Structure 1
Amino acid sequence: MTDLYTPFLEATRNVFHLMLDISNISDQPAECLGNEEELDVSIGFTGDLKGEVIYRLPHQTSLGIVTIMSGMEFDTVDEFVISAISEIANIISGNVLTMLAEKDLTCDILPPVLKSQDGGEDYEFRNNILITSEIGEVCLDIRLEPAK
């Protein structure tokens, strides 16, 4: 199967750099464990690949990102923060689609939805990327497989 780690990492780096002016980003494979102090936004994938990617952000990371984006301070994760983080997840996923198209994979994404912890369905490609930056950590829980 096509390398999916790299497109997600590069798309996240590009969006963080362009939208948030954050360029010092490191990554590592990691186990993304959910908790209550976390915002989980799921972007569904359809087409040649199906499944979802869950963007897991600690509340402090979410608040920091939205503060940079809006220029306003936030101290709680409210509807505005959720909407802004959902849009970031959407933009990253859209960038991934462009990279996958260069590898002859045609996919589309579904609108972002809040995700709660669930059981672990089996996916051919299941990977977690922990991205660390000055604003905090973001975990991408990638759950994709070829469409049958």
Structure 2
Amino acid sequence: MLKAEIVNPFLKAALSFLEEHLNMEVTRGQLRLDSSKCTSGEINVAIGVTGDAEGTVLYSMSERTAKSIASVLIGEPVPVFNALAESAIAEMGNIITGRAAFGLEEEGFRCRLSPPAIIAGRG
């Protein structure tokens, strides 16, 4: 079972990123632990975490959502999910996870992060 001191830094980092960079008002919904081996979205950012807290962080979204987020981050429309959009979404995952790593450090969990990898496609 995931502990609050591990999950909360990720929630805080994601909410602050979305509010700051996308100018969105965000509210946290119900949390759930998903043990599925399949992703729910077409665009996924995977970042490995090693150290006191180990695992893979996965940010999963629809292609439509990924294009919308990339459009805001890039500052121009993204009609097709291309290499530039991929880079923007990967960097979003990197920023959120990096901020969460600082939060983990504050909770006493030292960790290292892998570079983000984009995985396109459901499953």
TM-score, with structure 1 as normaliser = 0.70
- Unpaired runs of at least 5, structure 1: 119-148
> Runs ≥4 in structure 1, deviation > 3 angstroms?
30-33, 115-118
Percent of aligned pairs with the same amino acid: 27
Match for residue 77 of structure 1 among 69, 81, 84: 81
Q: Secondary structure of 1:29's match?
A: coil
Aligned residues: CA RMSD:
2.1
Structure 1 residue aligned with 2:39? 34
Matched pairs, number: 117
Structure 1 residue aligned with 2:102? 98
What letter matches 1:8 in structure 2?
A: F
Give the 5 Å matches for 1:68-147.
Answer: 68-115=72-119
Q: Secondary structure of 1:25's match?
A: coil
1:52-88 alpha-carbon deviations (Å, 9 max, x no partner): 1111011111111111112211111111111100000
Q: Secondary structure of 2:59's match?
A: strand
Q: Tell me by how many angstroms 1:23 deviates.
A: 2.0
Residue 19 of structure 1 pairs with residue 21 of structure 2: yes
Mapped to 1, the partners of 2:27 and 2:75 lie a distance apart of: 21
TM-score, with structure 2 as normaliser = 0.83
- Unpaired runs of at least 5, structure 2: none
Mapped to 1, the partners of 2:80 and 2:67 lie a distance apart of: 7
Q: Secondary structure of 1:24's match?
A: coil
Mapped to 2, the partners of 1:113 and 1:70 lie a distance apart of: 19
